[in-house]
Structure 1
Amino acid sequence: MTRYAWRWSIECTFAEAREHLGAGQAQSRTRRAVQRTVPFALSCYTVTVVW
């Protein structure tokens, strides 16, 4: 139960980033682009929330 509660805030963050920034909808073709797209979107989301 503790692990579920700890993970819940992370899952909410991912869901909000996908909803507001479209983090999961990027159309990348190269492996490096795929590896950079989601972390960049999450970084943008973090800056937006902190701002």
Structure 2
Amino acid sequence: MKIGVPKEIKTNENRIALVPAGAESLIAAGHSVLVQKGAGEGSGFTDQDYT
């Protein structure tokens, strides 16, 4: 399954739908995870955290 994680566009919304550990678990289960550039910035996660 392909799973996409978009960057939040609402003002003052800093949460992200999937943290890096969750992405890692999904990938380990055989899924593809695509994270939009900068999606985790508001929650303190870098793009590098998702690779």
Bin of the TM-score, shorter chain as denominator length:
under 0.3
* TM, length-normalised to structure 1: 0.26
* TM, length-normalised to structure 2: 0.26
Name which structure has the greater RCO, CA cutoff 8 Å, separation 6+: 2
- Identify the structure with the greater helix proportion: 1
